[in-house]
Structure 1
């Protein structure tokens, strides 16, 4: 069995990694191809395109990368038509995936979309395009499934995988020790979360770091933690810190 999947950013890659693991448990001989990041590749995905080429957001950034995004989608379409999967699963990234899903569906390839766009909150008319593009919607939240049922779209509520990964009650001290953050008494830890896309890091992280420096000058007991989704993002954040807040602890 050949299953194709396309994730458009790192959050989708994490969902895709879990999905591939679940599919492999049921179909151990299946092979997986498409677009993914470290989590999906570690589970056996053959990624035809680096995930970073799809991970853009915001009107300006999307317009700047639009020719490349169109070229990537055409490349993927040709690749998947030449080696048709038994099913295609688009993971989030609706602006990229729904168009590809519709093209593949016209060619007789069953299409599934994993993670509903927020059609229940804004631009609800998009449900018509979704209905033309997919055979099945997989939703994270139960009320999303109810929305699609009302509009006659085949849907299955699969739940959010974080519900299995995060315990109802967590031990903050144990979590800090696991991360090597044994802080002295009186020290307060602040997490800075500028995002997982390079565009977000370039635009948002400088302001975060400058604000953290301003806070630390007034509250010297503060320490700051910035998670990086990839080694490339880590290097970019380290360079920005050296430039904008070199003395920030």
Structure 2
């Protein structure tokens, strides 16, 4: 293999940074001497990726919300493309962040640079027309959900299911008693974890109904304790304000910075804003209810353009033969709807067991040593690379 190969990567947000860190570690193990560069967060940097920009530059989401940061993102993308075209890496890997990365990948591929996208956009769920862009933009798609490989094959895109890194990292059966001690929660009695999301817009839309749901449950379950992991310190104040407005006793609900996984291990059930956190809850074996409210403009665009193609939006329900996780969307996100669904999980062991049985099957399906398999799929595209068992 030629010496001094460079692989460029771009990750957006904390989840992409974690995926990229596992990939970088495996690439450096499988391809000694490879140099990894790009847009990287702290986890990727710790794994050995040289940062050209920080990953939190891309922490933007939503059809409407992205408009606010569009000029800055376009300047960043132009600067990144110029630097990549000058450096000409052996492979470029866009990790998630499709609205940013697919445009980069399309330009680079047209210039003769091999491109990989890690974590498929949900084209099978909504905006399926993006498949035409993907076909032009990527040489290989790395999929973390098992049904995606066949979907791409039908559309003429080279795709590999590598498994989901979270399933390699997480497992059910954690020590709930130890997690409760860590979080200063009562050793006995029901515990509810609330994961409201990591973006300010999500907190603004979900904070009030979640706080009202806590109040609804507290009136019916006198010994209920709640733990609310806060993704970033900046989100603490709006959540405290929502809890206060709903009349939630501060002693009943612990707000902690980070520690979401410990909260899920400690809890009997969870209320989770739709996203990767719902899959984390399932893989940790924590029964859950999933909710989501989009901004009014985002919802109007989605409905007006008929962009959604699926009946369920919670990740666990998309991956199990029988949907078992209650879902609540938009106007359904109220204490009157969320409260009874959570009360059932908190008080009925059979209801919890039904979810947990499906979650065990899901864990087995997704646990495939994803970082190793992803690195193998990338390394196979490097010039002159031979797998260890090849002659």
TM-score, L = length of structure 2: 0.57
Kindly indicate whether the alpha-carbon contact (under 8 Å) linking 2:96 and 2:117 is maintained by their aligned counterparts in 1: yes
1:111 matched to 2:112? The reply is no
Flag the 1:131–1:205 CA change in 2: closer, same or farther, 3 A: same
Task: Give the number of the structure with larger relative contact order, counting CA–CA contacts within 8 Å between residues 6 or more apart.
Answer: 2
Deviates further, 23-32 or 71-80: 23-32
Deviation at 1:222, TM superposition (A): 2.3
Q: Residue 8 of structure 2 is aligned with which of 4, 10, 22?
A: 4
Q: Residue 48 of structure 2 is aligned with which of 44, 53, 64?
A: 44
Partners of 1:178 and 1:151 lie apart in 2 by 51
| Other-structure match for 1:184 | 187
**Rg (Cα) greater in structure:** 2
Q: Residue 121 of structure 1 is aligned with which of 91, 101, 125?
A: 125
Kindly indicate whether the alpha-carbon contact (under 8 Å) linking 1:32 and 1:46 is maintained by their aligned counterparts in 2: yes
Flag the 1:242–1:215 CA change in 2: closer, same or farther, 3 A: same
Kindly indicate whether the alpha-carbon contact (under 8 Å) linking 1:206 and 1:240 is maintained by their aligned counterparts in 2: no
Deviation at 1:215, TM superposition (A): 4.0
Kindly indicate whether the alpha-carbon contact (under 8 Å) linking 2:181 and 2:187 is maintained by their aligned counterparts in 1: no
1:27 matched to 2:25? The reply is no
| Other-structure match for 1:245 | 243
Kindly indicate whether the alpha-carbon contact (under 8 Å) linking 2:230 and 2:236 is maintained by their aligned counterparts in 1: no
Q: How many residues align?
A: 243
1:58 matched to 2:62? The reply is yes
Let me know the Cα RMSD of the aligned residues: 2.3
| Other-structure match for 2:140 | 136
Deviation at 1:137, TM superposition (A): 0.6
Q: Deviations over 1:136-176 (max 9, x none)?
A: 11111222111111222111111111221222x41352562
The answer for unaligned runs of 5 or more in structure 2 is 254-391
Flag the 1:170–1:125 CA change in 2: closer, same or farther, 3 A: same
Flag the 1:50–1:210 CA change in 2: closer, same or farther, 3 A: farther
Q: Residue 228 of structure 2 is aligned with which of 221, 226, 229?
A: 226
Partners of 2:215 and 2:42 lie apart in 1 by 32
Flag the 1:40–1:175 CA change in 2: closer, same or farther, 3 A: farther
SS of alignment partner, residue 245 of structure 1: helix
Partners of 1:206 and 1:38 lie apart in 2 by 32
Deviation at 1:97, TM superposition (A): 0.6
Q: Residue 77 of structure 1 is aligned with which of 69, 74, 81?
A: 81
Partners of 1:171 and 1:127 lie apart in 2 by 40
Partners of 2:52 and 2:38 lie apart in 1 by 6
Flag the 1:177–1:192 CA change in 2: closer, same or farther, 3 A: closer
The answer for unaligned runs of 5 or more in structure 1 is none
Deviation at 1:206, TM superposition (A): 4.8
Partners of 2:60 and 2:37 lie apart in 1 by 21
Kindly indicate whether the alpha-carbon contact (under 8 Å) linking 2:11 and 2:94 is maintained by their aligned counterparts in 1: yes
Kindly indicate whether the alpha-carbon contact (under 8 Å) linking 1:92 and 1:116 is maintained by their aligned counterparts in 2: yes
Partners of 1:202 and 1:36 lie apart in 2 by 28
Deviation at 1:223, TM superposition (A): 2.1
Kindly indicate whether the alpha-carbon contact (under 8 Å) linking 1:194 and 1:205 is maintained by their aligned counterparts in 2: yes
Deviation at 1:32, TM superposition (A): 1.7
